[in-house]
Structure formats: C-alpha cells, structure tokens
Structure 1
Amino acid sequence: MKKKLTAVVILVMLISLAFGNDSYYKLKPSYMTVNGVSNTGLVVGNEEYAGPFMFWNPETDEVTNIGGLAAGDGVGGMARFSADGNYLSGSAMTELPVDTAWQKEELSQYNYIFTSITFPWDGDIGFAAGQSSTYQGNGIVLTTYNGGENWFPVWEDTQNRGIESMCFLDEYTGYVCGWNGYFAQTTDGGSTWNTIDPTGGQSVYYWSSVHFKDENNGVIGGILDDGIAVYYTSNGGHSWSLATGLSGAPAAIGYAGGDTYYLTTGTGKIQKSTNNGQSWTEVYSLPMGVFLGMDFLNPDTGYVVGEGSIYHTTDGGATWQAQSVGPDPIWQDVYYLDEQNIVLCGTPDMIYESTDGGTTWQWANEATFNGDPGLYSIARSGTKLLISGSGGTFYHRSTVDSEIVSEMARYNVQTGEWTTLGNLGYCLDGNYSSGWSISADGGTVGGNAWKGGWYAHAVAWNADEGFMDLGTLYPDDNASTRAEAISGDGSIIVGYQDFNGPWKAAVWRKNPAGGYYPNVHLLFDPLGDPNDEENQLAMATAISSNGVWIGGQGDYVTNGQPWIWSEDTGVVLLGTIDDLEGTVTGINHDGSVVVGFFGGLPWIPRVPFIWTQANGIQNLNEYATQTLGVDMAGTTIETPMDLSENGLFVVGMAFDPNFGEWGGEQRAFRLQLGETSTPQDTIVPAASSLSSVYPNPFSSEAKIEYKLNEASQVKLSIYNQRGQLVKQLVSEGKNAGTHTVSWDGRDAKGRKVSSGIYFARLTSDQQISQKKLIYMAQ
C-alpha cells in the first residue's frame, strides 16, 4: 500500500511540474544535497548524510522520501534520471548470503611467523606482528585498514628483534615485545616506536608477553639473563615495578576483567593476579604440561590451552576441567565469540570450533589442512574472525551467514521500488558497489564496485547482460576506474581511469559481441603519444545523450580549462574564469549547452559556468540575472550538479548568507534556463573548427574548410594513420572567418600517396580539431 501511495504522489508531482508556474529560480526551504534533475524539473537529492534519496518538487516544495542510500559512510553514488523520468541510478540496501567457511591466504611477500594479531575495538584497523624465524629472527609489524583484506608494513626489523607479543589499546597506541629485550610503544599507529626498559638496565633474553588493560595499567613478562620476571605499571609505562609470586617463565599473559590477569608458563602452570599484576598466585599445575594461550569471558570463566591441553574454569581458577578435542596438536590460542561459540588454533595448521560451550568440537579447516603452517593468534574484526600463522599465512571467515550491505541500484518511479544490481564479490565498509549514472533510455546503469582493498572497477548493468566488470587498463597496479556518465542508448560509457595518481578520462564502447571494449584515453593531441600522461585529458564527467559529445575536468593538460570532445573536432577548450580549474557537470542531449563550475578548494568559493554556442562561457550567476532576468533572492550559485537531458533545468547548490541556523550555508536551487538555452542543431567551437571536407572520399582534390571566430596562428596538416606527417598545408596567421585550402593527395615531396585513410588536423590557439579523409588513388 505504501509503495502505491508513493507512486501516486510522484505522478502528481510530475503533473504539477509539467503545468507549473513561470518562476525560473527556485530555492528549497530546507537543506538538501542535490544529485540530479529530470526533464520536467523534478529534483532528487538527500536531506541527510548517507540518508535516503528525496524528490523535491520546486513548484510546490513537496518532498517525498523514495528510499535508497545516498553517499556517505563508505557508500558512494549519485541519483540521476533517465530521460523519461521513470528510472534513477543510485545505491540501495540488500541482504546477501555470506560464506562462513574458513578461507586461507598467504602473504608471499611477508614470509614471517605472525605470532600475534589484534583489532582494537574489533574494528577494521588492525595489526599483525611476528618474526622471520622461531629464535632470534627479525621482527615485523603490519597494519590493515580494511579488516585484513590488505596488509602494509609499518615496522621491519634488521636487528634480530623478533616479536612474540603485541597489545593495542586503540588504532594509535600499542605495545610490542620480543627477542633481545625489545619492548616498544607507538602512539601513531606504528609509524614510530619508542623503546621501554622496565628493568632499570638489566639484560633481557626475551620478553614473551605484554598486555595493557587500559592506558595506565599494563603487565609484561619474560626471561632475563639472570632469571624470570614480570613487571607492572600503573602510570602508562612511565615507571615499572617487579611483581612477586612468579612460579615459572611466563608464556602468555591475559586480561580477564576488573583487576584480574592470568598467566601461563611453559612448565604447565597457571597463575592469577587480582591486583593488576602486582602479585601472582599459582591456581593450577599440570606436571610435564605446557600452557600457552588463553581467553576469558570474565574473571571467573575462561580457557587456557597448550600442548595437547585444553582447560576450562568457571570459578575464577579454583578448579579446572580438561576437555577433549580429538587430536593433540600444540594449541596456541583460544578465542570466545560468546559463551557458546569458541575457536581454537594450533600447530600444525588446525582450527577447531565449538558451538555448545566446549562440550563438543569440530574440525573447521579440514578442507584446507596440509600439515603446515603453525597457527598462533586469533582476533576479531567486525563480523570477521582472523587467525595469523607462519609462512605469512592468514585465515579468515565470516561470523554471520548473511549481511545487510549496499549495492548499485536502479529505482523505478512507477513502482516505487529499488532493485539492487550486483557486485564483484568484495565488500568495504558495508558497501559492494555504487550507482553513479544511467542512460537516457533507462536501460543501462553505471558506477563502480570494490574489486579489492581500496581499489574499485567501473561497472555497468543492463537487463540482457546483467552486471559487468568494465575493468582497468592497469590491473597489476590495482588502478581504479569508475563509470560517471552514459550515452542515451548505453552504447558509450565515460568516466575515469586512475593513472599514476591523476584521474584520466576513460571511454568504454559497446562490443557487439557482448559487454564493452576496454577503455581508452581521450587525447589532447590525437596524433600524440596515447601513453603520455601530459597528453591525456582528465576525468570525463558527462556525455550528451546522442553520444557525440563528452565533457570533463580541466587539469595541467588543458591549463585548467574544462573541455568537451567529439570524434570530429577533438578537444574543445571551453575557457576559464578567474584562472581556476573547471569541471563539466552536465551536457544536454546534443552538446549545445554545458554547465559546470570552477574551483574546488574549500577556502575558495566555486564559480559556476554555462557554455553555449552563441555566447561561449559565462558566469552562471550573470547569465541568470542579466540574460534571464532572474531575482537571485540574495543567493549566489556556486555548484551546478546536473543539467536536465533536454537542457531546460540546472540544479545544484547555492550560497545563502541568511540560510541555516547560523547563516551563510549552502541550499538547493533549481534554475530554469528558458528560451535562450534551447538546444541547437550544431555546435561550433569557441575559437576554431574544421567545418567540412568535400568531396570525401576523393581521388583528385579535396577542399578543406575551416572557421576561425577570431584571428589566430593556424597550422593545418595532413597525417597518415600511423600519425606520420604527410604534408603541411597552412602555417601562418589568419583572420577571423571561413577559409578553404585544397589537398591533391600528394606528400611534401610532391609524390602521390597511396589509397587509404588520412587525417586533416587543425591547430589554433591551443585547440586541436581533426577530420578523416579517404583518398582513392586513380
């Protein structure tokens, strides 16, 4: 019922827009971040960060919640309309099944024994530490920002300071300890480490374990050259004291809650401290035993594991019950998911799990077991469990069998429903993929999907072929791509290709056999080096629905000028305002109207522009007030976000000194352009263009016509398909107007060229135009 009502409301809004009043400039009374606008002037955006999408009818100021998920909190995307207003691109939530089996991977570049893994607060940021060999190896600390999908080194040792234990209080503050007396603290996430000496100058063989319960209270234990010791601090490590009551060499120290710690030894002893590690009491001894790892739900309930041993207490260590698992490996660590779900790991390569509080155990990684490596430490990151081991081995599995995530989606205005469209199998921050664009016919949606840690691929969807990975030109570099805009019939997709840092224009064209051809760059000089970064146009951001004109962002290649490009003209620079870098944000259906903005730095106000054939580039505020006669109500347009496909409406964000709780905030606007921006049949570049070549094909002589809007230095040359200069026809200053030059099919030495395809290239005032000629020798 709710969906039907929503559809009815939207239809009413569309009707009112079609027959609304004549006011050209509308401001939304309350805040909205604008995404797009339909051909009837209906605006879509979001009123909340990462909130649902909303329709705004500027004629009535009616707002309708249509659901979906706008950008924010790891979700990307943009809501854009199809030409008939029946479909939108965007992102929406969906529930997907998750594989809960253990997955094994090896970090071949880090062939270390990772003895410890931790994720502060069970978050996405975590650390893994270890050593290159069991005794006296070099140490290493890795970090991850995405739950262990990717790891990066923050500390690599060359002085035989292998790491045995690690404890992080948060993503910045942590401690590591290990061989040759190495004990250090970081307060910047591992970038720098400061060594600590709790002993006051004694020689230490190795530190075996460290644990801090908070920023002040911590315990460290190990073997000194002259004996065993545990030290404790109550002031964040500024001073340390020697603990009492130790009955064996510490193997591991664990915090159980309150002021209670437990300690295991390699000689089968379990000790307990109830005063933050100051004194220790032996609570259990297993003759000839070896105890290693531990985990506690609370001071009373926990597990201690070791060589073939699993012991459980529920009374604060007063009694311990041995539990049988089956095999007798060296159990290195144990982890409570909750009171009933417990995980064990050990050597060799064994993971066992219990779902009934330890009564029974199941071999969880039997499918991947091969007797190697050793597994040492267990940690949790969100809904994921991770285990670190030797040989750079890491296991991981999901703790849930389904998850609510966001995906690229299409909205049907008639039914009021979002349909999620797919993903590439990788999730980051709860997001698999995001929709950024839609074709005018509504049949193709484009965007990007996470492909791996911190990189994504451009993707597209249509009903016939489903979800498609558009790929990247640089897969070995994990270089990202994204689909920003789509032609009317879905045959051309434009966006960006990450290239050595800068985002460069990318164009995907439909392959008749299915899918899309690999993307290609757009070149400033079409005959120049296609691999030269300084010849590649920056990110493409828009395309006319007829597929002829592509627009994009200015950068060092175009001296900051925004640009449009077509096969016939090559790049057309649109000009500049205030010497700022410009970005195209919208092109109408035939490329005769272009909008965008200059600037982008937070402290520099953006300057909006409109470009038309008749007037070239203009400040959109001046166009609105001087050409359209609009009363701006004290506001200043700063960021046009979209231009309707028919070229009648511009929407975006305007600055209002009186808007918001404190004044001086952005607010949504819609500007109706009126008759002066009615689409033109053709478009003429601002400075120069190759108008025509006739006859074409030709066998004796071709006349090449070009137009100049102002006097300038001109070069007009003929090139072959290999980009080699055949003949220069013009190289001189020319007055404004129409000019004609002939080419008789001969090269610079007067020789007839062979039949084939050639290119006439016109260069004038930093603009390059090009047309194809076909020569047929007699």
Structure 2
Amino acid sequence: MKKILQIVFVLVFISVSTVLNAQVKLVQQSLPLISDVSLLTNTFGYGVSGSYVLRTFDGGVSWDTVANVNGVTFRRILSIDQSNLYAGGEKGRFARSTDAGASWTVTFLPDTTHSVYSIKFTSLSQGNVLTSSTTAAMVVKTTDAGTTWATTLNHTTGDLEDMDFFDANRGVAVGGGVGKMDFYYTVDGNTWTLAPRPTIPSGVTYTRIDVRAVQFVNTNLVYAVGWGSTVGMQPSILCKSTNGGASWTYLEQLPENRVYDNLWGVYFKDENNGVAIGGASRGTILLRTSNGGVTWGPVRIPCGASLDIIYGNGDYLFVGGGDNMFMKSTNFGDSWELITNIPGSSLYTIHFPDKNTGYAAGYDGVLIKTTDRGLTWKGSYVSTGFTCTNVWGIYFLDANTGYSASTYGMVAKTTDGGVTWTKSIPDTISTSTVYYGVYFINSNLGFAVGKLANNQDMIAKTTDAGITWSKKVNLAAGSWRGVHFFDDQKGIVVGEKLKAVYTRDGGTTWTLSTFTTLPPGYTTPNLRDITFIDENTAFAAGDSLVVKTTDGGATWNYINIPELKVGLTGISYKKYANGNNGTLFSAGMKTGSTRIAGFYHSEDMGNTWVNNVAGIDLATTIGDVSSTEEQTAYVCASSSTIYSNIPIVSVEDEAGISSSYYLGQNYPNPFNPATTIKYHLAKSGTVELKVFDLLGREVHSLIMGEKPVGTHEVRFDGSQFASGVYLYRLSAGEFVQTKKLMLIK
C-alpha cells in the first residue's frame, strides 16, 4: 500500500507542476560547425571548428577537443601523420603542431588580409597554401615547414577556391566568378601559368562559372567541379585535364543526367571511378562516374545539406558540410549511413502524436525523432528520391504515419515512422511555391496550406490518404501558414497579412474571417499557427499577438497579453486524457539586436498568460510548439534544439541494479547550485566520473580512483560553472555511460 501511495503522489506532482518548471533543453545538435576534416584512416583524423582543433577515433561519430588556439579562426587543416599537423585560418593565420595537436605555433602568411582556402604539403617541410577572397588570391610556398614563405602566384583579378598538388612540382589552382573560369597550373612548383578556358557548349548559358574543387588522379589526369544553379537551369560544371592542367575539357552531360547546383568537392579512387558532391537548393547532390567523367549520373544520398568535405579510401567515402553532420558509405555511394546522431538545423515544426512519440523537422529537411517522451532523439532526413527540401510543417496521425509540408510545393508521406518518405504532392521547380502547414483529420482526409506564388495562397485537400489532391487558390491574395480542424467538417486556415478562412463543410467551401477589436498598428500582422479548443473556440498566434474566435472562425477578437513582444510561431492545445480542460501553449522569438524568447501558457482558456522562459538559450531561435494530453509542451528551435517543461525526475530501484553497473540521472535536474549523482558498481575497481561541456572538454573530475562494489553517491557543485547543459560520464572497467545534466542559475 505504501508503494502505491508513493506512485500516486509522483503522478499527481508531475501533473500539477508541469507548466511551472524551468524549461529543460532535451537535445541539441551533436556537433559544432566543423569547417574542415583531415582523416588519416577511415576512423582516425582531425578537424577544426573556430579556434578549436578536434580529433576523432571513431570515423567522425564523436570528436574530442585537442586544443583551443586563441586568436585563430581556423578554416582548413591537414594532417601529415598522427603527430604533424598544419592548419590555416582567417587573415592569413597559419599554425603548426608536431605533438598531435597538443601545442601549436602560430605565424602569419605573406597575405594577412585573406583566408586560407587550401593547404597541400608533399613532405613534412615542403608545402603550399592558398589564400583568397572574392577579389584576389595568392599561393605561397614553404620549404622549411612554414618558417618562411615565398609567393609563387599572385592572382589579382578574382578568387581561387581550391588547389591540389600531385608532387612537389605539379600543381593546379582553380577559381573564377562572373564571366571567369580560372585554371592555373605549375610544373616546377614555382611558376604558374593560366590555362585556356575550356569551351562551353552552345546552348548552355552561365551567369558565373566558378570552379570550386580540384583533384589530381595521376601525373597528368586532373578533375575539377564547380558552379551550377537552378536559376536559368545552369548545369553543374564538370571539367577534366589529361596534361596536368595545361588544357581542360568541359564534360557536357546528357539532359537526363544533368544537375543544377554547386559542386564543392571531388574524389576519384582511380582514373575512371569518381564522385562529386555539393548541393543543396533541393537536396544534397552526389554525382558518380565510372568512365573517366564521360558520363555522370546522380546517386541518391538521403540528406539535404550542402556537402563540401570529402575523404575517400577506395570504396570508402566520408562526406560532410552543412547541418554540422557527417555521412559515410562503404560501397562507393550505393548506400549511406548518417553517423552524426543529431544534425544541426533550424527546426521549424514539431508534433507529438502521442505522449511518447515526437517529430521535429526544418531546414534542409532535417528530421529528429523521439520515442521516449523526448529523453533521447535520433536524426534523419525527410528525403524523397533526389529531393530533400526545407520542411515547414509536419503532422503525424500516429507513431508511424505522417506528412510533411515543404518548399518547392512538396508534401511527403511516411508510413514507417520517418524511415522512408514518398512524394504525395510532387515538388516543382518554383522557389515561390511552398506548403507551410499540413493537418490530417483521419487516415484519408487531410489538408496542406501555403502559397502557389507570391500573394497567391493555396489550400490542397485529399480524401484518399494523399494519393490525389484538389486545390483552391487565391482565396485571400496572401500566403497560408497554419491549418487546424476540429472534426471532418469544421476547420480554420490562417496566414499572412491578418487573413483567415473557415469551413463548415469539410473544405468544400471557405469563407473569409473578420477581425475586430485590434489595437492601433495591428492592421496586417502575420498569423502563423492555429489550434481549436472546442468546436467553436479557437486561438491563433502570430506577430506579437494572439486572437480568439468563439464562432468557429467567422469573427476574431484580440487577446491582450501584457508585454507580448515576440513573434509567436506556434500554438498548441490538448485536453487531458480524462476530458478535462488542458493548457494552451504558445511560443516564439523576437530576433535582432535585442533577443527575447516567448514560451507562454494559459491554464484558464486564454484569459491570462504566463511567460516562462527560464532555461531557454536566447542564442537559439524558437520555431514551433506541440503539447500532449499530459500537458507536456515541447518547443523546437535552431541548432536542432528541443526545450520542454517535462519534469526530469530520478527514482532508482536499487534492487533491480544490484548485480549490474548503473549510472543514475542526477537529482535534482535542473539544479542550482548542486546536484547528486548515484551510480552502482557490480564489482570493485578503478572508477572515473567526469563532467564535460558539449564540445567534449573536461570541466571537472568528480571521481578518479578505486571504489568498492555497491551503490555510491557523489555531489557535484556547479557554483563555479555557467548555466547550461553538461555531460557526465562514468567509466568503470569496460562499462562506460554518459548522461546529461542541466545547471540553471
């Protein structure tokens, strides 16, 4: 009886205190922005991020901080071997390490104005560095490991974007711009010659012809790739030289094989087999050739980021770039694995179809999913064939079946919990065609809303689970942003310029709404989201306002929320499972020089509102909010961040862990200034318990030494640390486990 009473108490505590907690950051992007990577093997290598030098032992899944080189913003890194490293950054900074990155000597290149674009060394002492801007570039050479430099190429009429050397003498540097395609080559490592521009086929027109990446395959064979654009259908540039860069051939592709996007990297494993990477106006681009570049074909890679990092070792490919993520292929691109758990993206939309399962999506088609109420998340992409665009709206009927609304007018569908996606409404080539919101009433009936073109709104309806759609266009000469239905008859759509329409016949007809009691200056604010409370009552949120209807959307009244200064981008409401009235949640952000967060809730049906932003990092930008029947709210934001008011509790059953290793969740969490961590050892031995920041840097050692078998507790005092999320890791023999804790001051 005692245990039953304890359980009831915990459940009651959670239900009444949910909206009162400080917001907890449940997840954020796994990695910082890594601008360059230099792998020595498939598993070991180095990277740079800002002033930090990083190292990986597991092929880029995780990265340790090796050094923080103050005063340098790194852009490129080259590892000659495990000990000898070179790195370059902005304003001509050049750094060298001979002790595996532990210490660095920083010097200045002759060009102290521009940034380092490429570093190529053919031995420990001899190498070349390319610095560039949009208007000028320079190649400098060293024969004494960077102690002194000599300028070998001074290009004053544009940029150069990449460089490669086959040996100490043979090199190529490439670049270009508007009306320029520059190929320089050297055969002695000291003097450079500008090669003739290859002939562009008739009928192919370019607004610019930059060359972005180059690779030597052997003494004579060189490949280069570059500019492409969907604007004007400009094919991606592919070029080849068979004489060390002295002359070049433009590799024209058949129309069915052409892609129209920037290519940023190239890798050939032999003379005939190569890949080029880039993107991503409509998704990641990966081209592959097996006949020496005569023909190239697009290869599907389930990703939406623009890729500019590539490492190859035979059939093994490692790529990265946008979204702070990396992918790998062990079969030369036939299949791909996302090795970064949470790619970094601005999340625009979030939806929890039940209390355990949630999805959030956004820029570049990034999708993150939880199945345990937000405690753990896994990343992927809303990728359909060769298309992976920004996702603005997402809705799931249950844990497995869901729809996304995207740029280029695409609606996609999944029936396996986001593992695979198919096009329900195919994408267009128009950047002005966008679906912003999607909502399904049942397995067959659903709506998607957005714009067909600027000032030309559209509502799409399906009655057969997305197989076919009918559209109503230009009801309000604007752009629809949010849609919600109370049942299969009553629905409301809201959008920009203070426009809304409502239906009472399942979307057969729509009627424009009327807005009243708006204060001065609120003539055309944008409405971003909508939620029903009951069949007649609904709330809509937008640019620094909330409005309410009590007649199913026919008329709307302004709700006065004191000190509301943020643009609200999401609003959500769910009743309790027992039918009792729930809590209204709305969230948004004021950006600019003074950033203000908003995470509002109302427990009296919108009469009074409380803004509870404790725990929200103002550096992140809020996108949307979704709530569950337990009145748990989840807010998505930039950097793939999810905040929630979910209580973080820790109740350990020691009887269940007495024969195993265990690391408990710290309690309390969040905490200020101290918290307790409990752990259990199955046998005595050496134990380490350390605290790290999110970059992987150790900030505190709690335990290091021998401990006996049994359950132990240790207190962590965070008085000397800044607010934020930290990691704590227990290592005991072969047992290693890491968990998160949150300090809020």
Q: TM-score by structure 1 length?
A: 0.40
Higher RCO (Cα < 8 Å, 6 or more apart): 1
Which protein has the larger Cα radius of gyration, Structure 1 or Structure 2? 1
Q: TM-score by structure 2 length?
A: 0.42
